Amino acid sequence: MGGTFDPPHLGHLISAQFVADELNLDEVIFLPTGNFSYKDSRETAEARHRYDMVELAIADNPKFSISDIEVKEKEYSYTCFTLEKIRKLYDNSHIYFIIGADSLDYIDRWKNPQHIFEQCTIVAVSRKGFSQEDLNEKREELLKKFEADIIILEMPCIDISSTDIRKRIRENKSVSYLVDSSVAKYIEDNNLYK
């Protein structure tokens, strides 16, 4: 499960657990993005902080682990290259890449989408603002264009966003019940998002 995780919130954890249960996965590996070209880095916590927060958030779940593959990279992180590395580490495993419906909507504009689809099954979880009909239409489009293997999982809508959490922190509002308490403490101790 890749993402910026800026910060990681309960919606991320619920989605990961839902997919693990639905697909009977052995493990969900969280892949915090390292350096990226698509967001303003002034608005984003450093990769080491995002990694540490994910590590805290998943600590109690034996099915969850974390990888620093992207975080330790000095260059921009691209999913197509990260998946290559994951496939080498888990040579005989079937790889599922968990994304939100919003990412499915523009995955064909990511760097080398054909290579992404060749290396894994995409698992897109439903998200507010994306109807099942829209998701199925996008799935069919990607299937025709890339022969992509895509599973769409409809799950209860968990309307939590990292953007909203950062805004709440800047406004000195509580983020209780949006992030794990250990993540909330880490944010406060490191004065993030202020």
The angle, 0 to 180 degrees and rounded to 10, between the axes of the packed helices 181-189 and 47-58 is 150
Listed in sequence order, the residues at least 6 apart from 148 whose beta carbon sits closer than 8 Å to its beta carbon are: 117, 122, 139, 142
Please write the tens of the pLDDT for every residue from 30-47. 999 987 655 555 578 999
- Tell me if the domain spanning 2-186 has CATH number 3.40.605.10: no
- Asked if 77 contacts 38 with a C-beta cutoff of 8 angstroms, the reply is no
Q: How far is 28 from 175, CA to CA, in rounded Å?
A: 25
Dihedral sign for Cα 123, 128, 133, 138, please: negative
What is the pLDDT averaged over residues 4-33? 96
- Asked if 110 contacts 79 with a C-beta cutoff of 8 angstroms, the reply is yes
Closest to 30 (Cα-Cα) out of 61, 56, 4, 2: 2
pTM above 0.75, yes or no: yes
Residue 99 pairs in a beta bridge with 124
Average pLDDT, the chain: 93
Please write the tens of the pLDDT for every residue from 106-158. 999 999 999 999 999 999 998 777 888 999 999 999 999 999 999 999 988 88
Cα distance from N-terminal residue to C-terminal residue, the chain? 27
DSSP letter assigned to residue 124: E
